[in-house]
Amino acid sequence: MDSPPDLPSDIPPEPRREPILTLPGALTAYIGLLAIVHVVWSALPPELEYWTIEAFGFIPKRYDSSLLPTAFPGGSGAKIWTFATYSLLHANLSHIGFNVLWLLPFGSAVARRFGGLRFFLFMAVTAVAGAIAHLLTHEHSIAPMIGASASVSGAMAAAIRFAFVRGSFLSFRSDDAAAAAQVPALSLMRALQNPRVLAFLAIWFGINIIFGMGSVAIGAEPGSVAWQAHIGGFLAGLVLFSLFDPVPRPPRDAASEPSGGADRVP
């Protein structure tokens, strides 16, 4: 009987299979926090449920000194923490699901680039910016605003500062996403000259102004959407991105592009 032929000893190992969707730990933790808050809040009895909205939602009238003072839950402390805590509350599963859907591509890119601490601080800062924009445009409103969409909008704005640099968009694959997270970002001025960025800005602002998306004002008119908060968070994410970005930009002479290659980094 013939013996089987010897097998080559240098057979390459089977390539490692990676999941198509890989989320950074910071984003997973953020989504988990939103989910836990929603589950706990939904389990409260009705009277505590609305007390929570008033104590942790953002109410412009809380800061209105021109009218008779209104006692809101939380007292003076709520005038500080509600600038951020409103972003952790959501009206229902579709509300939270909509924000998470937008977070998956954009929040994933930003969380992978910023790391955990910077990412959470960035989401808080853009939430505050959204609350300020809502306060300036709803000075006497008593309807509480809730929802993470100002922070989601900020993450979308931050992502476009580096996601278009190499002429591509965002990827869920870990190798592609890790490489994109290290690409030097465009300066704000150069970003606003990039055709892809300008197209994205036009579409995003158009959708928000015409339809609105993601944040709601509880107790306001049916279908009321706090789209001004989205714009406040978006502008904050676009302008303040460099304060959080850990990836250094190349020297000015190395960053200058040849004619016709304004959206590419060598």
Q: How many CA atoms lie within 13 A of 184 on its CB side?
A: 14
Of 21-30, 64-73, 133-142, 195-204, which range is least confident?
64-73
The C-alpha atoms of residue 20 and residue 171 are separated, in whole angstroms, by 9
Q: What is the DSSP string of 120-174?
A: HHHHHHHHHHHHHHHHHH-TT--SPEE-SHHHHHHHHHHHHTTTTTTS-----SH
Q: Rounded to the nearest 5°, which phi and psi values hold at 146?
A: -135, 160
How distant, in Å, are the alpha carbons of 41, 46, 72, 140, 156 from that of 51?
Answer: 10, 9, 9, 20, 32
Enumerate residues 6+ apart whose C-beta is below 8 A from 66: 140
- Average pLDDT over all residues of the chain: 80
Could you report the per-residue pLDDT of 140-150, keeping only the tens digit for each?
888 899 999 99
Reported confidence tier of residue 253, pLDDT bands at 50, 70, 90 = very low
Mean pLDDT confidence for 162-175: 61
Could you report the per-residue pLDDT of 92-130, keeping only the tens digit for each?
898 899 899 989 989 998 999 999 999 999 999 999 999
What is the pTM assigned to this prediction?
0.79
Is pLDDT larger for residue 212 or for residue 119?
Answer: 119
Share of the chain above pLDDT 70, in %: 72
Is pLDDT larger for residue 74 or for residue 221?
Answer: 74
Mean pLDDT confidence for 215-223: 46
